[in-house]
Amino acid sequence: MSKKKVKNKKKNLGIESEKDEFSEWYSQAIIKAHIVDYSPISGCMIFKPFGYKIWEIIKEETDKRFKKIGIKNVYFPLFIPESLLKKEATHLKGFSPEVAWVTQAGKTKLAERLAIRPTSETLMYNSYSKWIRSWRDLPLKYNQWNNVVRWEFRHPIPLLRTREFLWNEGHTVFATKQEALKEEKQILGIYNIILRDYMAIAGFISKKTESEKFAGAEFTKAIECMLPNGRVVQGPDFHYDGQIFARAFNIQFLNKQGKKEYVWQNTWAITTRVIGIMLAIHGDNKGLIIPPKVAPIQAVIVPIFKTKEKEKVLKKTKELEKKLNKFRILLDNREDYTPGYKFHDWEMKGVPIRIEIGPKDIAKNQVVIARRDTGKKESIKIKNIDEEINKILDDIHKNLLKKSENMLKKGTITAKNMLALIKAIKNKKLVISEWCGDKECEDWIKTKTAGAKIIGINEQAIAKGKCIYCGKKAQYTVWIAKTY
RNA sequence: GGGGCUGUGGUGUAGUUUGGUUUAGCAUUAGAGGUUUGGGACCUCUCGACCCCGGUUCAAAUCCGGGCAGCCCCA
Q: What is the spatial distance, in angstroms and rounded to an integer, between the CA atom of A24 and the C1' atom of B20? A: 38
The answer on pLDDT for A40 being more than 90 is no
For the CA of A32 and the C1' of B55, the distance in angstroms is 39
- Looking at the DSSP assignment, which residues form a beta bridge with residue A315? none
Judged against a pLDDT cut of 60, whether residue A5 lies above it is answered with: no
Give the CA A349 to C1' B22 distance in Å.
39
Cβ atoms within 10 Å, residue A224? 24
The pLDDT of residue A363 is above 90 = yes
State the nucleotide closest to A16 in CA–C1' terms: B12
- Model pTM score: 0.95
Give percent of chain A above pLDDT 70: 97
The nucleotide whose C1' lies nearest the CA of A32 is B11
Round to a whole number and report the distance in Å from the CA of A146 to the C1' of B52.
33
**pLDDT confidence band for A335 (50 / 70 / 90):** confident
pLDDT tens-place string over residues A202-257:
999 999 999 999 999 999 999 999 999 999 999 999 999 999 999 999 999 999 99
Q: How far apart are CA A234 and CA A223, in angstroms?
A: 6
**Residue A325, CA distances (Å) to A90, A331, A346, A366 in order:** 52, 11, 19, 18
- Give the residue among A48, A40, A125 at the shortest CA–CA distance from A88: A125
Lowest mean pLDDT among A6-15, A150-159, A333-342: A6-15
pLDDT at A174: 98
Are A212 and A452 a contacting pair, CB within 8 Å? no
CB-hemisphere CA count at 13 Å for A311? 1
| Nucleotide nearest A21, from its CA to each C1' | B72
pLDDT of A384-400, one tens digit each?
Answer: 999 999 999 999 999 99
Measured CA to C1', the nucleotide nearest A27 is B71
Cβ neighbour number for residue A396 with a 10 Å cutoff: 25
**Rounded CA separation A103/A120 (Å):** 19
Amino acid, single-letter form, for residue A440? E
Mean pLDDT across A346-361: 96
Q: What nucleotide is nearest A343 when CA is compared to C1'?
A: B39
- How far, in Å, is the CA of A22 from the C1' of nucleotide B42? 36
pLDDT tens for each residue of A369-383: 999 999 999 999 999
pLDDT at A119 over 50: yes
Under 8 Å between Cβ of A414 and A396: no
Report, as an integer, the average pLDDT of A472-484: 95
Mean pLDDT of A156-180: 95
- Residue A59 clears pLDDT 70, i.e. is over it: yes
> What is the reported pLDDT for A241?
97
Q: Integer distance in angstroms from CA A40 to C1' B60?
A: 27
Q: Which nucleotide minimizes the distance between its C1' and the CA of A360?
A: B38
Query: What are the backbone angles phi and psi of residue A186, rounded to the nearest 5°?
Result: -60, -50
CA-to-CA distance for A129 and A143, rounded, in angstroms? 16
Q: What is the ipTM of this complex?
A: 0.87
pLDDT digits over A76-109, tens only? 999 999 999 999 999 998 898 889 999 988 888 8
For residue A4, is pLDDT > 80?
Answer: no
Q: Which residues on neighbouring strands pair with residue A140, listed in sequence order?
A: A173
Alpha-carbon A291 to chain mean position: 13
Q: Give the pLDDT of residue A106.
A: 84
- Mean pLDDT for A119-139 is 96
Residue A154's pLDDT band, with cuts at 50, 70 and 90, is: confident
Phi, psi at residue A470, to the nearest 5°? -95, -15
CA of A208 to C1' of B48 (A): 51
- Measured CA to C1', the nucleotide nearest A425 is B74
**Which of the four pLDDT bands, split at 50, 70 and 90, describes residue A13?**
low
Q: Which nucleotides of B are covered by protein (CB under 7 A)?
A: 1, 11-12, 27-28, 34-42, 68-75
Q: What is the mean pLDDT of chain A?
A: 92
Q: Assess whether pLDDT exceeds 60 at residue A7.
A: no
Q: Taking the C1' atom of B11, which residue's CA lies nearest?
A: A12
Can you give the distance from the CA of residue A274 to the C1' of nucleotide B20 in angstroms?
54
What is the SS3 assignment for chain A?
CCHHHHHHHHHCCCCCCCCCCHHHHHHHHHHHCCCEEECCCCCCEEECHHHHHHHHHHHHHHHHHHHHCCCEECCCCCEEEHHHHCCCHHHHHHHHHHCEEEEEECCEEEEEEEEECCCCHHHHHHHHHHHCCEHHHCCEEEEEEEEEECCCCCCCECCCECCEEEEEEEEEEECCHHHHHHHHHHHHHHHHHHHHHHCCCCEEEEECCCCCCCCCCCEEEEEEEECCCCCEEEEEEEEEEECHHHHHCCCEEECCCCCEEECEEEEEEEECHHHHHHHHHHCECCECCCCHHHCCCCEEEEECCCHHHHHHHHHHHHHHHHHCCCCCEEECCCCCCCHHHHHHHHHHHCCCEEEEECHHHHHCCEEEEEECCCCCEEEEEHHHHHHHHHHHHHHHHHHHHHHHHHHHHHCEEECCCHHHHHHHHHCCCEEEEEECCCHHHHHHHHHHCCCCEEEEEEEEEECCCECCCCCCECCEEEEEECEC
Residue A147 scores a pLDDT above 80: yes
Task: Give the model's pLDDT for residue A9.
Answer: 34
| Residue scoring higher pLDDT (A78 or A39) | A78
The maximal CA–CA distance of chain A, rounded, in angstroms, is 85
- Looking at mean pLDDT, say which of A153-167, A184-198, A436-450 comes out highest: A184-198
Query: Does residue A11 carry a pLDDT above 50?
Result: no
Is A165 in contact with A273 (CB distance < 8 Å)? Answer: yes
Res A454 pLDDT > 80: yes
